Amino acid sequence: EAQVTQNPRYLITVTGKKLTVTCSQNMNHEYMSWYRQDPGLGLRQIYYSMNVEVTDKGDVPEGYKVSRKEKRNFPLILESPSPNQTSLYFCASKLRPGESNYGYTFGSGTRLTVV
């Protein structure tokens, strides 16, 4: 089944403890992106990647890192999480920037709580 898989689905951590949220897609998509969703603020883009080794900042990149060493994986790294990063996170992928192809495929989300 074509899908975007995020892990973990739920995570509670403490301030300052480094964590990684994994994202993997099995559709050979070139474009991948991370979003956070907060009440009243909608979905905001954190980082995106046009292809392997190509990443760029979205609207809210502060406090996050990403890497794209292989096409299928796009992990989100929080080096020193803070409570204001408590949020619902989504990973998404798309075939290539110029393709319509029914838009983005989203993962099921990761609910992160930083205490």
Partner 1 sequence: LAKTTQPISMDSYEGQEVNITCSHNNIATNDYITWYQQFPSQGPRFIIQGYKTKVTNEVASLFIPADRKSSTLSLPRVSLSDTAVYYCLVGDMGYQKVTFGTGTKLQVIP
Contact 23, 5 (CB under 8 A): yes
| Complex with partner 1: residue 75 or 107, whichever CB lies closer | 107
Shortest distance in whole angstroms from residue 96 CB to partner 1: 9
Residues that bind partner 1 (CB under 8 A): 4, 31, 33, 35, 40-45, 48, 50, 56, 58-59, 88, 90, 92, 94, 97-100, 102-109, 111
**Pseudo-torsion of CA 105, 111, 112, 115, nearest 10°?**
160
Shortest distance in whole angstroms from residue 102 CB to partner 1: 5
Per DSSP, the three-state class of 85 is helix
| Complex with partner 1: residue 59 or 70, whichever CB lies closer | 59
Pairing label, strands 65-66, 76-78: antiparallel
